[in-house]
Amino acid sequence: MATPDFIRTIRASAGQQLLWLPGVTAVVFDDEGRVLLGRRVDTGRWAVIAGMSEPGEQPAACAVREVYEETGVRCVAERVVLVQALKPITYPNGDICQFMDITIRCRAVGGEARVNDDESLEVAWFAVDALPELNEHGLVRIKQALSDEPTWFDPTT
């Protein structure tokens, strides 16, 4: 996963200390109700599509951009389904980040699902009752995107 230039600039002066960053997850469904997943280069595991907002970028615009950049699928953002501070991550190079994740349900409107950048090994549509192995992060987000419940906020402090 390429590090955005604005993060490289911050890291040049901040070093490896914890950075609090905006993250967006896009749970994308097609007209058949299938969900779009990518198999990540860094872990080799299937995951929902996610990325980091650029400075000044709105979350919905980030979701749409990330989906297209990673998968070639055009989508529209429908609604926010989850807002959650994630646990800090220490990357192999020692950099520490913590993301405020905004998960957005999206609907595919065009394009062909394909590997469209260097972040994915594979990209595919999956029926929600036939998902590949996913981590809890992905499963919770898909479940929440499928529900009619209002936006979920983590009540823990």
Q: pLDDT by residue (tens digit) across 58-109? A: 999 999 999 999 999 999 999 999 999 999 999 889 999 999 999 999 999 9
23-54: pLDDT as tens digits: 999 999 999 999 999 999 988 999 999 999 99
The domain ranges of the chain are: 30-146
Contacts of 38 (CB under 8 A, 6+ apart): 46, 47, 49, 70, 71, 115, 119, 120, 121, 122, 123
pTM of the predicted model, to two decimals? 0.91
Q: What share of the chain is helix, strand, coil (3-state, %, to 5)?
A: 20, 40, 40
pLDDT band for position 154 (cuts 50, 70, 90): low
Q: Residue 73: left (phi > 0), alpha (psi -120 to 50), or beta?
A: beta
**CATH top-level class of 30-146:** alpha beta
99-141: pLDDT as tens digits: 999 999 999 999 999 999 998 999 999 999 999 999 999 999 9
